[in-house]
Amino acid sequence: MTTPEGSPASVLIADDDSLVRGVLRMALTRAGYVVFEARDADEVIAAAAEHTPDLVVLDINMPGGTVHDTLGSMREREPDLPVLVLSGELRPPADLTGPASDFARKPIDLDDFLDRVRRLLENSRGTA
């Protein structure tokens, strides 16, 4: 998947579990995305500012801050930044709404995950 400018779309994976990050990185890289990683809330905010990803995959339970604080900080800079929240919970947080947000349950079904990533990017950035 590419951006409208023709470069590969970039995805920031934010999860404190290195195994989860590794599996998602491999799946996204194989699908043609550029991938950046973060382990905690501070790294997420710094990486989002430095790399300006096209999409963020954000674990709901990150060290150093709540998902709401992290989302708020990122969306101050990029209000339309698409975010896919990962959680072991059955339901998404009640305030996770909007066309640029989605929710996926852990354990992650990689086919479903990649489909959600593609749809979020298509809907939010107009990539194909």
Q: What is the pLDDT of residues 91-115, one digit of tens each?
A: 776 666 555 688 899 999 999 999 9
Q: Which run of H or E residues covers position 38?
A: strand 34-38
Q: What is the pLDDT of residue 96?
A: 65
Cα-based distances in Å from 74 to 6, 12, 23, 32, 68: 24, 12, 24, 24, 10
Over pLDDT 90: what percentage of the chain?
56
3-state secondary structure of 22: helix
